[in-house]
Amino acid sequence: MRFAVGALVLAGTVLFGLLAGSAVDRGIVSFPARRRIGTIAWARYSRAADLGNGIYLYPALAIGGAFAALAAFVAAMAVYPARGLAVPLAVAVLAGLANLGVTVAAAPKMLRIGKTEDRNDLLAPLVDEFVKLSYVRLVLICISFAAMLWALFRI
Asked if the model's pLDDT at residue 2 lies above 80, the reply is no
Give the model's confidence band at 47: pLDDT under 50 very low, under 70 low, under 90 confident, else very high: very high
How many domains, in total, are found in the chain? 1
* Whether the predicted pLDDT of 82 surpasses 70: no
CA angle 23, 30, 100 (to 5 degrees): 30
Per the prediction, the chain carries an average pLDDT of 96
Length of the chain equals 155
Side-chain half-sphere exposure of 73, counting CA atoms within 13 A: 19
Residue-wise pLDDT for 117-153, tens only, equals: 999 999 999 999 999 999 999 999 999 999 999 999 9
Q: What number of H helices and E strands is found in the chain? A: 6, 0
27: alpha, beta or left? (left if phi > 0; alpha if psi -120 to 50):
alpha
More confident residue, 82 or 3: 3
pTM: 0.94
SS3 59: helix
Q: pLDDT value at position 85?
A: 92
DSSP 8-state symbol, 27:
I
The pLDDT, as a whole number, for residue 79 is: 84
Domain around 87: 2-154
pLDDT at 11: 98
- What pLDDT is recorded for position 80? 77
Task: Label residue 83 by pLDDT band (50, 70, 90).
Answer: confident
